[in-house]
Amino acid sequence: MRRKIAAGNWKMNGLKASVDELNALKSLTLDTKCDIFICPPATLIEEMVSVSGESLIRIGGQDCHWSKSGAYTGEISAEMLANVGAQAVILGHSERRSLHQETSTIVHDKVIAAWAAGLTTIICVGETEADRDSGATLDVIAEQLGHSIPDAATADNSIIAYEPVWAIGTGRTPTFDEIADVHKFIRTHLNDRFKSANQMRILYGGSVNGSNAAEIFAIPNVDGGLVGGASLRAIDFAPIVVAASQLS
Ligand code: PGA
């Protein structure tokens, strides 16, 4: 059985005072049976690693560069994230793909760099609304999976996140059948390529909240969620963690 994951992506939100949310989350999620990741802005990683302490909550980054170091103004390397205690990194989020022109090949190279630094990668894929309307969803997902996930992926070094772009931050979610179809497609792709595919976790992301998490996480091949808006406050994220835990 695959252990469920509740992962929070804080995006460009959070100042030092927001670390209090992590303290609150710790006390609201004692005795949980799922894996929990929080990916705050890079400025908060070190302090949040220290606050997370012995709890089950692991801290991650939201992106990294494909190079170890060098003349890349404004960028952050995987080694730098690991150096301050991050254990994971989100790569290929749709906001990076669309706002920073990240191709699947770039995502692939970042994944390799992240593994070299010992980070677990949360690799995101997802179609736009136009892709879905034109019936191209599975083609887009196939391209992203095929070119973003390196051949050395395992259940230990990689987590896949399916996030339909049109469901991110919009309050709209696909139907349960639509989620099930794409997750099944992703599972089949993983089975065709990787030995440990059956143990690889596939998260759903896009407008997950405390009210819909339990039903979404119960869909076949959905192993938890990658959560944006509802991960910012402990009071909103805790019920999502509990939903993941109850199904673990
Ligand atoms: P959302 O974002 O939960 O705010 O829709 C999800 C994500 O972008 O990971």
Among 226, 231, 233, which is best to mutate for testing ligand 1, by the most ligand atoms less than 8 A from CB?
Answer: 226
Distance 6 CA to ligand 1 centre (A): 12
Residue 31: its pLDDT value, please? 86
**Torsional sign, CA 146, 147, 149, 151:** positive
Q: What is the DSSP letter of 8?
A: E
65 a catalytic residue: no
Tell whether pTM > 0.85.
yes
Residue pLDDT, tens place only, 173-210: 999 999 999 999 999 999 999 999 999 999 999 999 99
In contact, 110 and 64? CB cutoff 8 Å: yes
Give me the long-range contacts of 23-31 (CB less than 8 A, separation at least 24): 23/51, 24/234, 24/235, 25/57, 25/234, 25/237, 25/238, 25/241, 26/51, 26/52, 26/53, 26/55, 26/57, 28/234, 28/235, 28/238, 28/241, 29/55, 29/56, 29/57, 29/238, 29/241, 29/242, 29/245
Residue pLDDT, tens place only, 10-67: 999 999 999 999 999 999 998 899 999 999 999 999 999 999 998 999 999 999 999 9
Ligand 1: atom nearest CA of 90 is 9
Distance, CA of 99 to CA of 166 (rounded, Å): 15
